[in-house]
Amino acid sequence: MSYPWHLYLMATLYILAGMMHFIKPKMYLRIMPRYLPYPKQLVSLSGIAEILLGIGVCFPLTQALSIYGIIVMLGVFLLVHFYMLTGEKASAGIPKWILTLRIPLQFVLMYWAYSYL
């Protein structure tokens, strides 16, 4: 079955984002909320989830489940986005206006995924 190019773009973005969790783990550890346990494992787990969900949207058998998984994952990632707004260290040096814009972007990404159901 052939899917639109933008579905493959979305899949590629999640796969690449997931790979970055293993290439630059310190970057992700720096923004991990301090109240969550096992930060290294959570960074790895979220990277694996992004990779598997990105791959999953490319196959008819796993597409719907992967899309729902992406939506849930993006919802969970809101914890990180809100945490990054709590202080200078948590912000990783990113300007507050960019961090603020990332929150509605999560909902745009959720809608993008949902549009393939």
Residue 1 has pLDDT above 80, yes or no: no
Contact between 73 and 14 (Cβ < 8 Å): no
Domain ranges of the chain: 5-114
17-34 pLDDT, tens digit each: 999 999 999 999 999 999
Contact between 47 and 18 (Cβ < 8 Å): yes
With left for phi above 0 and alpha for psi between -120 and 50, is residue 93 left, alpha or beta?
Answer: left
Does the model's pTM come out above 0.85?
yes
Q: How far is it, in rounded angstroms, from Cα 93 to Cα 78?
A: 18
33-67 pLDDT, tens digit each: 999 999 999 999 999 999 999 999 999 999 999 99
Tell me which residue has tokens 């690449």.
16
**Residue 36 burial (CB count, 10 A):** 12
